[in-house]
Amino acid sequence: MNRRIVLFVADTHAGHKSALCNPDTRWREEGVDGKVAWIGPTLNGVQRWLWDNYTQAIKEAIGFAHGDDVLLIHNGDITWGTKYPNGLMSSRLDIQTTMGYYNLLPFLEHENVSKVRLIHGTESHEFYEGTANNIIADHLSLGFPGRDISTARHMLGTVNGVLFDIAHHGPSGGIRVWTAGNQFRYNLKSIMLEDLISGRTPPRVVARAHYHTYNHETVRVMADREVTSDIFMCPGNCGLTHYAVQATRSAYAIHAGVVAVEIVDGRYREMRPYYERVDIRIKETL
């Protein structure tokens, strides 16, 4: 049996005080006396919850791989950037990419994670032109010279015979419970029909992110045969900032974790999300 696992993580937004942060992160600080010290972050409650959930999700996903080869995809917004400076952990730009690097280390500690692809996300979060991804990919390549590590803007990748369409931006999950998934299905059906009309094979799996909320839909289209594709949105690994609360009209649930896609003998077998949902509303009896 030829088995492979594709792991997806997204929206880690390193550098923001409401985002994922590896407590082992270290960076250089020079004192007024010229001496160099290596210091690290102090995590707040949201970050501790995110990190505990993240490491547990990685443990379960790597366990699901059972030692089989793993391809890791970070699907965008690996850092926070400077467009929205409120809440930054540091004014130093290099610390964001350092944190982004450390956030991926729990995956790379496993030798069966043989390939890594960092997908470009929102320009303002990644210092424009994919800068954060490129810096982090370079550091990972130096730290793990035996691994295949690179970046991409929008990837159409064949993984053991299974076609993946991977990009950061895509449709939202909907703004009402009863419409959740509609835009996902419409978008996927459009991709499938355009490919079929053009004589191409539609992707078996379409991966998107950006909205921080896990969603998964399956669409079947009848052409000369029945064609099936799946689309999913990666959960985020970031808390709700004040800006995010405004932009989402007071969303109150955080979805955080990773997603595993299993491929066996050249065929998509299943998708397994490892994520948690937490309600952050303050509850009190008055």
Residues 97-151 have pLDDT tens digits of 999 999 999 999 999 999 999 999 999 999 999 999 999 999 999 999 999 999 9
Let me know the angle formed at the C-alpha of 253 by 250 and 255, rounded to the nearest 5 degrees: 135
HSE-up of residue 11 (Cα within 13 Å, Cβ side): 27
- Alpha-carbon dihedral angle through residues 10, 13, 18, 20, given to the nearest 10 degrees: 60
Per-residue pLDDT at 14: 98
Q: Which residue has the tokens 């709700």?
A: 240
Residue 27 has a pLDDT of 96
Model confidence pLDDT, tens digit, residues 90-110? 999 999 999 999 999 999 999
Q: Which fold has domain 3-279?
A: Purple Acid Phosphatase; chain A, domain 2 (3.60.21)
DSSP states of 119-138 as a string?
E---GGGTTSTTHHHHHHHH
Per-residue pLDDT averaged across 243-253, rounded? 76
152 vs 169: CA distance, rounded Å: 13
Per-residue pLDDT at 69: 98
Biggest CA-to-CA distance, the chain: 75
pTM for the predicted model, two decimal places: 0.95
CB 204 within 8 Å of CB 230: yes
What is the pLDDT averaged over residues 51-69?
A: 98
* pLDDT score for 247: 65
Spans of all domains in the chain: 3-279
Per-residue pLDDT tens digits for 171-223 = 887 777 777 788 989 999 999 999 999 999 999 999 999 999 999 999 999 87
